[in-house]
Amino acid sequence: MSGYGLPVSRDTDGSLKPVDHTFEWGGQEVTLRLVPPTISQHEEYEALGEEATARDLVNILDRHLVEPDVGNDPTARELFCYLEGIIYYGVGGGDELADEVREELTRREGGQGN
């Protein structure tokens, strides 16, 4: 172990590695294997806004969802559940440290800058 960076987040080529993520959706525990979205991908998804088509949303699944395999025609329930899991993981929902960082950034937003 080199001691640099997050453990097991990228392979030796720098590509993101799939991770398992468990979250609650609709009162059920759901586990996905996903490739985490990057900051630029999050920005791209935010830019879709309310104009996002169903195909845009399925394309997000195609980019990130490894398991379960839903093919290219998921049900609406699958689509919204798995999208929520991907986005939630991407903003740190599956990581206590990320929650702490978000809280600190929110706290600092109210303070004066350097």
Classify residue 112: in a domain, yes or no. no
Classify residue 10: in a domain, yes or no. no
Residue 111 is classified by DSSP as S
Q: Is 65 exposed, middle or buried (0-12, 13-18, 19+ CB in 10 A)?
A: buried
Please tell me the predicted confidence (pLDDT) of residue 74. 95
pTM assigned to the model:
0.72
Please tell me the predicted confidence (pLDDT) of residue 1. 46
Classify residue 45: in a domain, yes or no. yes
d(CA 75, CA 82): 11
Classify residue 5: in a domain, yes or no. no
Classify residue 102: in a domain, yes or no. yes
Please tell me the predicted confidence (pLDDT) of residue 112. 53
Could you give the number of structural domains in the chain?
Answer: 1
Mean pLDDT value across the chain: 82
Classify residue 1: in a domain, yes or no. no
Classify residue 4: in a domain, yes or no. no
Question: Which residue would you say has higher pLDDT here, 42 or 109?
Answer: 42
Please tell me the predicted confidence (pLDDT) of residue 9. 76
Q: Which domain holds residue 71?
A: 19-106
Classify residue 61: in a domain, yes or no. yes
Instruction: Work out the pLDDT band at 24, boundaries 50, 70, 90.
Output: very high
- Which ranges in 1-114 belong to alpha helices (H)? 39-48, 54-64, 76-90, 96-109
Q: Which long-range contacts (CB under 8 A, 24 or more apart) does 55-58 make?
A: 57/83
pLDDT beyond 90 at 81: yes
pLDDT tens sequence across 32-41? 999 999 889 9
Q: What are the backbone dihedrals phi and psi of residue 33, each rounded to the nearest 5 degrees, phi first? A: -110, 120
Residue 65 is classified by DSSP as E
pLDDT beyond 50 at 96: yes
Percentage of residues in the chain with pLDDT exceeding 90? 46
